[in-house]
Amino acid sequence: MAEAGSGPAFDRMGAEVVGTRRGLFTLVLKTTTLSVLTLGVYSFWARTRVRRWLWSAMRLGGTPFEYVGQPLEKLMGFVIAAVIVAVYLGLVVMVLIFASLQIWLSPAPGIAASFALILPVYWFAQYRGMRYLLNHTRWRGIGFSMRPGAWRYSGLAIFWTILSAATLGLLWPVRTQRLWRFRAARAYYGDDHFRLTLRARDLIVPFVPVLAVLWGGAALAFFGGAIEDQDALVGLVMLAVPMLALAWLYWRVVSFRRLASSLAFAGAAGLSVAPRTGRVLGIHMGGWVLVGLLLIVGAIALFFGFVASFFGFVASLPALDLETLATASPATVFFAALLFYLTFFLGRGALRMVFVTFPLIRHVGETLTVQGAAEVNAVRAGEVRHMHDADGFANLFDLGAGV
């Protein structure tokens, strides 16, 4: 496969990511604090401010990207999506559990089927989240966009997921290529759309380590007798899980590199990107360790701060016991639980953005080049495809909170 980086140097555009983690950390610290104090309402404004910072930090050919999404769109989209999903899942779950009780005299099959029905909604939300981000991204004054197709995307994901499961994972690379191709064919920059030129068979080799760990572990468990020996089974799991994690990370990095580098656009234009597996692994390991440590420190500080504020005995904190905490009113306990919930999830997302997502963006940006600058410069503004309900469905599954 010929990658996009083979053209003359003068016909290429390089990318860069400016800004520092300190600047981003300061921003997310302010926005997360306001989100917690407003019980999550400000999170829609926080997400908008963070995206604008990130988009302006990403530059192609020296020109920054621009994010034009509005916080009120996110708020209204989230409310609408929450109501629709709650009604949909509520009715479906009731019907399935009722049918399960009538047929099998147990709610378990109905509950299992209810969880399975979340997956189509998840993939629906995933496509809409990506579509919203593209439809609200500008570069050089020309907008990106993506055509509707969330339900078709969800159906395609279901179809290839079932086939992948039926073939014990063998068709997973095909599934990945088909979903990328579907998204690329519906993505536009101005009046030109993207195309995926990579064949599915070019993704099979990077996926072999994943299959080797899965199939090898299953063979040892069933045919090697490990499934009958609890100690051997525990040891096998402890060995297979980190090996599978490494194999999966390798697959994700290599498949992303090949897929993204095969994106063609506007005739001769194309991309070339070269993230490294070792670097991505280091970012994830170091980033998540920092996130965990900061969350633990923050949770301890929040706990003692809450106790000191509501019980007023800072000097006697060492004598604190469960009996004393039991005297708190239900309203106090509810408020404390809500505060801890918001702090943990909003704080985790904010810290992930600073210590994991942003370093990954910077690493990929350092390796990104665009071939066919003349073709890109000739692009004209296309049809504006605005989404008034924003990415509310994606935010329900924490898809719209990222990039």
Compute the distance between CA of residue 52 and CA of residue 33 in angstroms, rounded to an integer.
18
Q: With 90 as the cut, is the pLDDT of residue 375 above it?
A: no
Helices of type H across 146-276:
150-166, 172-185, 204-223, 230-261
What local confidence, expressed as pLDDT, does residue 36 receive?
A: 82
User: What's the pLDDT score for residue 76?
Assistant: 75
Residues across the chain: 403
The pTM assigned to this predicted structure is 0.81
pLDDT for the residue numbered 4:
42
Q: How crowded is the C-beta side of 176, counted as CA atoms within 13 Å?
A: 24
Buried b (16+ CB within 10 A) or exposed e, 149-169: bbeebbebbeebbeebeeeee
- List pLDDT tens digits, range 73-89: 777 777 777 777 777 76
Q: Which has the higher per-residue pLDDT, 269 or 326? A: 269
| pLDDT value at residue 86 | 72
Cα–Cα distance, 183 to 186 (Å, whole number):
5
- pLDDT score at 327: 59
**Long-range contacts (CB closer than 8 Å, 24 or more residues apart) made by 99-103:** none
Residue from 101, 284, 259 nearest 178 by CA: 259
**Residue with more model confidence, 7 or 126:** 126
Q: For residue 1, is pLDDT > 50?
A: no
- pLDDT given for residue 58 in this prediction: 94
Residue 269, helix vs strand vs coil: strand
Nearest to 252 by CA among 156, 129, 360, 128: 360
pLDDT category at 342 given cuts 50, 70, 90 is: confident
Residue 391 has pLDDT above 70, yes or no: no
Task: Indicate if the pLDDT at residue 313 is higher than 50.
Answer: no
Higher pLDDT, 209 or 97: 209
pLDDT (tens digit per residue) in 113-167: 777 777 888 888 889 888 888 888 999 889 898 998 989 999 999 999 999 999 9
pLDDT, tens digit (0-9, with 9 covering 90-100), for 217-276: 888 777 666 666 667 677 777 888 899 999 999 999 999 999 999 998 877 778 899 999
Helix (H) or strand (E) holding 100: helix 71-104
Q: Is-contact 372 99, C-beta < 8 A?
A: no
